[in-house]
């Protein structure tokens, strides 16, 4: 298994995210920048990946979460399942609703992380794929941060094409996150994903040689 270069290991276990014993790469970016694709590239290299979005999904599947959503936004629950398209519109139309929802979900993330992490067999390195790495103040808890970058206009185009999101909602979603240009500046490393899959693969390979 690949290891992080010694000079990039910044934290002791007690300082690190959930006190894991090995280095952690924080992988971030904006919505529709290609972060999930880069996660898969890391996984192909044999580096364990935990996706915050996947953890959030497991939290949403729990009965207590379905009940919480139904009690607060009944139109977002259909046949005892959360309708994420409806819930997204609600959450990004009202800041108070979004904060209430995020507080509930993120309070349950540590447990979800530890359950997923327990499936790994003593890794020497892992990637935590987390869109809100900077927004939630998690960057100091990882050894290095990597931002998957695509400019805002490409993010909007991909959101419209991929999810059928209208321009107004796309703008609201992007405005709820730190601007991608600011994330690019704050990250330790950048993987550019502005020009398609072939270039992304090439940029990923170059980065991997730098860090491992």
pLDDT of residue 126: 97
C-alpha 154/C-alpha 156 separation (Å) is 5
C-alpha 154/C-alpha 158 separation (Å) is 6
Q: What are the backbone dihedrals phi and psi of residue 183, each rounded to the nearest 5 degrees, phi first?
A: -65, -40
For residue 69, tell me if it sits in a domain.
Answer: no
C-alpha 144/C-alpha 116 separation (Å) is 21
pLDDT of residue 169: 84
For residue 10, tell me if it sits in a domain.
Answer: no
pLDDT of residue 128: 98
State the 10-residue block means of pLDDT for the chain, 212 residues long.
Answer: 93 96 96 94 96 95 97 96 93 92 94 94 94 94 98 91 84 88 97 95 97 96
pLDDT of residue 183: 97
pTM: 0.87
CATH number at residue 160: 3.40.50.300
For residue 17, tell me if it sits in a domain.
Answer: no
C-alpha 22/C-alpha 159 separation (Å) is 35
Domain holding 139, by residue range, is 27-52+126-212
pLDDT of residue 1: 72
**CB of 144 closer than 8 Å to CB of 5:** no
For residue 63, tell me if it sits in a domain.
Answer: no
Query: Is 103 exposed, middle or buried, given 0-12, 13-18 or 19+ CB atoms closer than 10 A?
Result: exposed
Per the structure, the count of domains in the chain is 1
**CB of 28 closer than 8 Å to CB of 134:** yes
């Amino acid at each position: 298994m690949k290891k992080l270069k010694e000079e990039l290991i910044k934290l002791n276990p007690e300082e690190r995210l959930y006190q894991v014993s090995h280095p952690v790469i924080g992988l971030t970016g904006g919505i529709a920048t290609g972060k999930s694709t880069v996660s898969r590239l890391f996984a192909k290299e044999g580096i364990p990946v935990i996706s915050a979005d996947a953890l959030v999904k497991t939290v949403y599947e729990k009965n207590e979460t379905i009940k919480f959503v139904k009690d607060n936004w009944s139109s977002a629950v259909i046949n005892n399942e959360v309708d994420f398209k409806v819930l997204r519109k609600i959450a990004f139309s009202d800041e108070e609703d979004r904060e209430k929802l995020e507080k509930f979900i993120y309070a349950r993330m540590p447990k979800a992380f530890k359950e997923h992490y327990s499936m790994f067999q003593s890794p020497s390195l892992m990637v935590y794929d987390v869109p809100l790495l900077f927004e939630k103040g998690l960057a100091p808890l990882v050894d290095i941060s990597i931002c998957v970058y695509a400019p805002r206009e490409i993010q909007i185009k991909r959101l419209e094409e991929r999810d059928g999101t209208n321009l107004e909602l796309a703008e609201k979603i992007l405005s709820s996150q730190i601007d991608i240009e600011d994330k690019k500046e704050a990250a330790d490393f950048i993987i550019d994903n502005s020009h398609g899959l072939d270039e992304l693969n090439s940029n990923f390979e170059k980065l991997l040689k730098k860090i491992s």
